């Protein structure tokens, strides 16, 4: 059976395709159906027998649309509420990872498979596999199960399953090159891949194939798009020239009150100090390079058995830029160590020359403290400076992520049983290096204290020399995760028990998995750059676990038009216990034009090794207001618009997240070549694992609920300086992992596909839409329910509507098409500075045309975002980019792409 025909039959909805259950067009060639395994079932069956909602992305369609990364592809999937994308590596230690989030219940509750088997989770947080690590060039199709599947796959399969399926029995060769050029500055990308295959499995008894892929994306920096000029984003109290104070509630700046003779500084609102906007320095899109390769071989053993081996490796490098280093606590003496006046000490009559701490009892006094190895001490009358190290330039980091997997498999048929066994070894390794702009904190500290570095203006030769010397680059974090997996399954027909004319089928399976991970800071280097990074030098997280499981699935036709399926899986974890999860589904087709299906299941997500074992470390919050001391959002920079110290870490007492899932679908074919589907879905979660988001945790009206997590210092404040934590003067917020409350969401997926054959060509129309009727969640156990649909709450919004509409035309050697992407608007995060904001709907239109000038060759030209739609304004502070939300909209704008491929 031809592979493309088999794929088309395998799915209910295909982008630009037809329903699997729909009647075959009269002009289609007659083919013999073969039994295959479909994502969401362990039983090998005829494609059209599946009762689960699956969306399939075919690589042919993906290539025409100019999509070159998994992140871009899944961005078109309406069942996915958000993707933590590569751009979120900017300012955050994600290793450049990208994750999917089906149903909006969390990226860690979407299971990612490669050829039906797990790959290792991202080593930096252990929550989910990095989508960027998938070997794109080798992929044949992507199957997305839009239903819970813990009864078959175990942990993580609550929101759904994404299964990347590589090419099989490929023969010949292929080469593809492509480029994309935005209309506006920055963001150019290039891609190239090549593949080969030889050997016919049926006639020669073997097949070997291999693919390599290269992708490169140039950065778009903060000055190449105007979105951060919509408002003053990335506000910081550490500007250049710097602020200074003795009383932390009263700040001064030599540029105040106008705050114009500095770098992106603005009035702080108190008439004496300045803030700085940092978003101009932040990459909208980082610079990325990705190389992947895969080799796969199959050897036929006799008539009924196939021995297989596959190896893939992907190396991704992501380089990001953010604003220069802020120093939030720099004591400055009136006199240099030789007794001469410090020429940079501010001439302010309001300063107390005998100042010895902000508390009458001197509990906060620093006078006499030795602050560096050089022995310099803080003198009476000092000031504290908050300054940004502009001379050393933007902070840059380089994240290298390497994923590899080796799999050996054997499958075939024994005595009527279709079987498959396999063993795989997976590894993910991530290194984060700081490559520019970072500084040796103790040297900066001493240079300001002793009057060598000027935090208020131009540097002397000595000051610049010390700043140059203080520049520090090196490896800051590294992590490695490994997963060893052994699995086996078998299925067979067991008889027509009820005279339905179709056989009942049984599947059984087992799995054993061992997981290990470690994440560690380079402590010596991390110590000297802690002011620059907020990364605790003591960071060391490690853990391991063993998992064993057995499962079974039984499909029984009760009538010619009705069959039911039951599945159950038992998982045993050596670190928290065991869990059993069943699933029941049915498929009813009273007429060939009508299909009804439904399912009910329970699911679970085991606490990740990172969530259980992460080190107790101190880092910075987002830019927020102290809910107790700055409830109105205006006041002292020490408590308003600041980044406070938070305590992160794992929790060995965590329990699994649990879920209940249900679906009910109706598919109809009212006329030939037209199919329409409605799939209602419900997900109910409890015991969610996570941390309370900044927008909820620091909301003044929630302070009574969350005050238990706030640990204030002797001044009743939260620390903004990493040097104070841990320590007696450390004020922090405890945001360690915990089992929070629940979440409830439900909605409907709508699909429609129509094909029209005419004298001028074939037209294909497709619609893939998701409507979310309800999404509510709790910040903590038994807490109030927060409504999230079309409202930015917690970490972001949940979109009421998402659509992907496609229209394609083809005739002979020519084809053209258009895709419309749509996200509904939402009520933005509330801010005291800018008031209510309704984020507008976001719709973009992509178009393409292709031509086959000769056999095997295809040339495709296209435009992404044809109307050059700007991202809608958002005041979010969840990620570093300002003026819009990069998780839901693209900064690239209109971009032209070309792709040429040749198959031989």
Higher pLDDT: 618 or 192? It is 192
Distance of alpha carbon 329 from alpha carbon 530, whole angstroms = 12
Listing DSSP states for 118-154 in one string gives: E-PPPTTT-SS--GGGS-GGGEEEEEEE-S--HHHH-
Higher pLDDT: 367 or 377? It is 377
Distance of alpha carbon 254 from alpha carbon 129, whole angstroms = 49
Tokens of 474: 């090196």
Q: Each residue of 280-328: pLDDT tens digit?
A: 899 999 999 999 999 999 999 998 999 999 999 999 999 999 999 999 8
Mean pLDDT across 462-479: 94
Pairing of strands 110-114, 160-166: parallel
The average confidence (pLDDT) of the chain is: 87
Distance of alpha carbon 206 from alpha carbon 805, whole angstroms = 41
First to last CA, the chain: 21
Distance of alpha carbon 267 from alpha carbon 274, whole angstroms = 5
Cβ atoms of residues 637 and 616 within 8 Å: no
Which pLDDT band, with edges at 50, 70 and 90, does 72 fall under? confident
Which pLDDT band, with edges at 50, 70 and 90, does 132 fall under? confident
Percent of the chain having pLDDT more than 90?
Answer: 64
Q: Each residue of 857-883: pLDDT tens digit?
A: 999 999 999 999 999 999 988 888 888
pTM for the predicted model, two decimal places: 0.86
3 state SS for 704-715:
HHHHHHEECCCC
Dump strand ranges (E) for 415-561.
Answer: 417-436, 474-495, 504-521, 540-559
For residue 23, pLDDT over 50 is answered with: no
Q: Each residue of 761-776: pLDDT tens digit?
A: 999 999 999 999 999 9
Pairing of strands 189-198, 206-217: antiparallel
Residue 800: the pLDDT is 96
Residue 134: the pLDDT is 86
């Amino acid at each position: 059976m031809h592979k493309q025909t088999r794929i088309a039959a395998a799915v209910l909805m295909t982008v630009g395709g037809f329903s699997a259950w729909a009647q075959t067009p009269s002009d289609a060639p007659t083919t013999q159906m073969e039994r295959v395994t479909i994502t969401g079932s362990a039983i090998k069956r005829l494609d059209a027998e599946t009762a689960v909602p699956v969306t399939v992305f075919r690589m042919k369609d993906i290539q025409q649309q100019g999509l070159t990364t998994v992140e871009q592809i899944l961005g078109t999937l309406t069942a996915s509420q958000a993707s933590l994308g590569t751009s979120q590596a900017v300012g955050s230690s994600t290793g450049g990872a990208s994750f999917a989030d089906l149903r909006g219940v969390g990226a860690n509750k979407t299971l990612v498979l490669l050829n039906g088997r797990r790959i290792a989770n991202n080593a930096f947080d252990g929550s989910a596999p990095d989508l960027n690590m998938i070997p794109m060039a080798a992929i044949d199709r992507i199957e997305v199960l839009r239903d819970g599947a813990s009864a078959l796959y175990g942990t993580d399969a609550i929101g759904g399953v994404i299964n990347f399926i590589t090419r099989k029995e490929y023969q010949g060769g292929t080469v593809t090159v492509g480029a994309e050029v935005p209309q506006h500055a920055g963001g150019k990308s290039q891609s190239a891949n090549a593949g080969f295959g030889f050997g016919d499995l049926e006639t020669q008894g073997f097949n070997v194939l291999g693919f390599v892929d290269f992708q490169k994306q140039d950065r778009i920096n903060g000055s190449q798009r105007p979105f951060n000029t919509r408002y003053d984003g990335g506000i910081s109290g550490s500007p250049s020239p710097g602020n200074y104070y003795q009383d932390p509630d009263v700040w001064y700046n030599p540029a105040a009150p106008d705050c114009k003779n500095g770098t992106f500084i603005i009035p702080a609102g108190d008439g004496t100090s300045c803030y700085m906007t940092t978003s101009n320095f932040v990459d909208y899109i980082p610079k990325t390079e990705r190389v992947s390769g895969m080799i796969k071989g199959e050897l036929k053993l006799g008539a009924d058995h196939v021995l297989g081996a596959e190896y893939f490796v992907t190396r991704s490098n992501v380089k990001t830029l953010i604003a220069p280093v802020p120093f939030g606590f720099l004591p400055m003496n009136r006199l240099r160590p030789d007794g001469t006046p410090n020429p940079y000490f501010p001439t302010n009559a309001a300063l107390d020359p005998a100042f010895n701490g902000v508390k009458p009892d001197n509990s906060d006094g620093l006078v006499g403290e030795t602050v560096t190895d050089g022995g310099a001490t803080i003198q009476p009358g000092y000031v504290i400076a908050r300054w940004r190290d502009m001379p050393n330039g933007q902070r840059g980091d380089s994240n290298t992520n390497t994923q590899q997997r080796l799999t050996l498999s054997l499958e075939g048929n024994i005595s009527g049983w279709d079987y498959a066994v396999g063993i795989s070894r997976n590894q993910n390794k991530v290194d984060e290096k700081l490559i520019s702009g970072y500084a040796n904190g103790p040297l900066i500290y001493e240079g300001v204290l002793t009057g060598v570095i000027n935090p208020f203006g131009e540097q002397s030769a000595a000051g610049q020399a010390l700043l140059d010397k203080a520049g520090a680059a090196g490896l800051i974090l590294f992590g490695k995760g490994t997963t060893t997996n052994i699995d086996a399954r078998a299925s067979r027909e067991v008889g027509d028990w009820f005279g339905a004319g179709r056989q009942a089928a049984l599947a059984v399976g087992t799995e054993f998995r061992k997981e290990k991970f470690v994440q560690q800071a380079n402590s010596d280097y991390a110590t000297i750059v802690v002011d620059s990074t907020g990364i605790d030098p003591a960071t060391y997280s490690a853990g391991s676990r063993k998992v064993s499981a057995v499962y079974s699935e039984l499909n029984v036709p009760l009538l010619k038009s009705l069959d039911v399926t039951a599945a159950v899986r038992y998982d045993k974890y050596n670190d928290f216990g065991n869990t059993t999860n069943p699933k029941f589904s049915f498929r009813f087709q009273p007429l060939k034009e009508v299909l009804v299906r439904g399912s009910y299941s329970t699911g679970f997500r085991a606490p990740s090794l990172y969530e259980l074992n992460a080190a107790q470390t101190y880092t910075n919050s987002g830019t927020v207001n102290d809910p107790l001391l700055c409830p109105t959002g205006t006041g002292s920079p020490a408590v308003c618009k600041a980044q406070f110290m938070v305590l992160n870490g794992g929790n060995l007492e965590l329990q699994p997240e649990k879920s209940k899932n249900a679906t009910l679908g109706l598919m109809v074919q009212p006329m030939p070549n037209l199919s329409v589907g409605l799939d209602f879905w419900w997900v109910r979660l409890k015991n969610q694992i996570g941390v309370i988001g900044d927008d909820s945790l620091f909301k003044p009206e929630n302070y009574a609920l969350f005050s238990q997590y706030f640990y204030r210092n002797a001044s009743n404040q939260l620390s903004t300086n990493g040097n104070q934590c841990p320590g007696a003067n450390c004020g922090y917020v405890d945001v360690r992992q915990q089992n929070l409350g629940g979440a409830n969401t439900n909605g409907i997926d709508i699909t429609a596909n129509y094909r029209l054959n005419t004298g001028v060509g074939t037209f294909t129309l497709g619609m893939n839409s998701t409507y979310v009727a309800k999404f509510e969640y709790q910040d903590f156990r038994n807490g109030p329910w927060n409504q999230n649909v079309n409202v930015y709450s917690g970490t972001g919004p949940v979109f009421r509507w998402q659509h992907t509409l496609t229209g394609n035309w083809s005739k002979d050697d020519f084809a053209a098409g258009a895709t419309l992407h749509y996200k509904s608007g939402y009520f933005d995060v509330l801010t005291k500075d800018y008031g209510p904001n309704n984020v507008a709907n976001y719709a973009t239109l992509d178009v393409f045309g292709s031509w086959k000038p000769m056999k095997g060759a295809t040339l495709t030209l296209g435009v992404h975002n044809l109307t050059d739609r700007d991202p809608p304004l958002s005041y979010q502070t969840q990620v570093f980019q300002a003026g819009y939300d990069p998780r839901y909209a693209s900064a690239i704008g209109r971009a032209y792409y070309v792709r040429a491929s040749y198959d031989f």
